Structure 1
Amino acid sequence: MTSIGPVNALYPMPATLVGANVNGKPNFLAVAHVGILNHGTPQYLSIGLAKIHYTNKGILENKSFSICLPSEDLMVETDYCGIMTGKKTDKAALFDVFYGDLKTAPMIRQCPVSMELKLHDVLDFKTHDIFIGELAETYADDGVLTDGAVDMAKLRPLLFDRSFRDRGNACL
């Protein structure tokens, strides 16, 4: 084995679109670092967002957020949500937005899979907020299901691979 330093080797990861209502309007942010904290019931997921993001305010205000899984077909829209700020741009206008039982976690109908989460806890780091959400419900397009479960081959998730950026290539 060769030591290569403290290099995160957990790539590629699925790119996601995280949704929250901010000032009463839906907003989406591209996020590639989503964590699965457990597989039991209730199930908890985490996202880490830099404190500068507009979306953080909405998650804190509404105590809810969504995690939507775009397919490869949404590469342009996902990239746009990653480079534009919701402070100046209505990114929700790109999508057909819907709400589930929580009523405050906007989701994207064009994403084959969307999950709504109730905010469970926030870990407050100097530069980032780590939001831990309790999974409330998952919505999936019938076309990505096999025997009632999400089939990643059918989903064709958009993948984020930072190692490509580190080598000078595109990351989405």
Structure 2
Amino acid sequence: MHKIHENSFNGIIALPSFPVVFVTVDSNIMVAGAFHFYSFDPPSVMVGIKPEKYTYELITKKKEFGINIPTKDQLDKIHICGSVSGRYEDKYIKAGLTPKKGNKIDSYIIEECPVNLECKVVHQIEYEGSHKWFIGEIKEVHIEDKYIRDDALMFWLGQFRTVGEVIEGASNNELLR
């Protein structure tokens, strides 16, 4: 039996986890859990960023960003990059990550991440809410040959999780062909 909740926030907390990503713009790194696929054609993603964040300021100015998919083995780097502001500290140095200049964007991507998406902002959603959303068209993709999606991290309400088991469907190798 379903229980009815008057508080709409309960509907939000009932959602599954979101993928954890490093958002890079210029030489800054931000950890984001407000990230999602947007469109297959053209291939696009969207990321939500609070307007008070340094990354918001940079993306608004540069109109580009990188999405870098960390693995569960990089949780320590996620904690470091999520605990300091790039306005005051170089997160690449502090977290021991290597900046790599993008091919299609003027910003850096993260060498140690097995997947990097170079994106150009095509739309910014100005909705009255905690996050402002940037839609980025994917201009170039970098994927390590040995990448396994199950090594990615999910985050929601203070919990880091792994992606989980495949119940039915194509294997990772079949999808990446």
Cα distance in 1, alignment partners of residues 15 and 69 from structure 2: 18
Per the alignment, residue 45 of structure 2 pairs with 45
Aligned match for 2:21, one of 3, 10, 16: 16
What is residue 134 of structure 2 aligned with on the other side?
Answer: 131
Tell me the number of residue pairs that the alignment of Structure 1 and Structure 2 aligns: 152
Distance in 2 between the 1:84 and 1:37 partners?
Answer: 29
Question: Shift of the alpha carbon at 1:121?
Answer: 1.1
2:38 maps to amino acid: L
Task: Find the aligned partners of 2:115 and 2:15 in 1 and give their Cα distance.
Answer: 22
The answer (yes or no) to whether the contact 1:49–1:130 under 8 Å persists in 2 is yes
Which has the higher Rg, Structure 1 or Structure 2? 2
Match in the other structure for 1:68: 68
The answer on 1:157 being equivalent to 2:168 is no
| Contact 1:35 1:45 (C-alpha < 8 Å) held by counterparts | yes
Matched residues in 2 for 1:36 and 1:158: separation? Answer: 16
Q: Out of 92-101 and 77-86, give the one that drifted further.
A: 92-101
Report the alpha carbon displacement of residue 2 of structure 1 after superposing the two structures with TM. 2.3
CA drift of 1:79 comes to: 1.4
Give the C-alpha shift of residue 101 in structure 1.
Answer: 2.1
The range that moved more, 80-89 or 94-103, is 94-103
Deviations 1:3-37 (A, max 9, x none): 3443223322221000001xxxx000000111212
Pick which of 129-138 and 117-126 moved more.
117-126
Q: Confirm whether residue 89 of structure 1 aligns to residue 89 of structure 2.
A: yes
Unaligned runs of 5+ in 2: 161-177
Q: What amino acid does structure 2 have at the position aligned with 1:134? A: E
**Aligned counterpart, 2:112:** 110
Partner Cα distance (1:95, 1:35) in 2:
24
Q: Percent identity?
A: 24
TM-score (norm 1): 0.81
- Contact 2:65–2:105 (8 Å) recurs in 1: no
Contact 1:105 1:117 in 2 (8 A): no
Task: Name the CA distance, whole Å, in 2 between partners of 1:3 and 1:29.
Answer: 37
Q: Distance in 1 between matches of 2:134 and 2:60?
A: 9
RMSD: 1.6
Query: Quick one: which amino acid aligns to residue 12 of structure 1?
Result: S
Partner of 1:142: 145
Q: Is the 2:30–2:82 Cα contact (8 Å) retained in structure 1?
A: yes
State the distance in 1 between where 2:140 and 2:4 align. 42
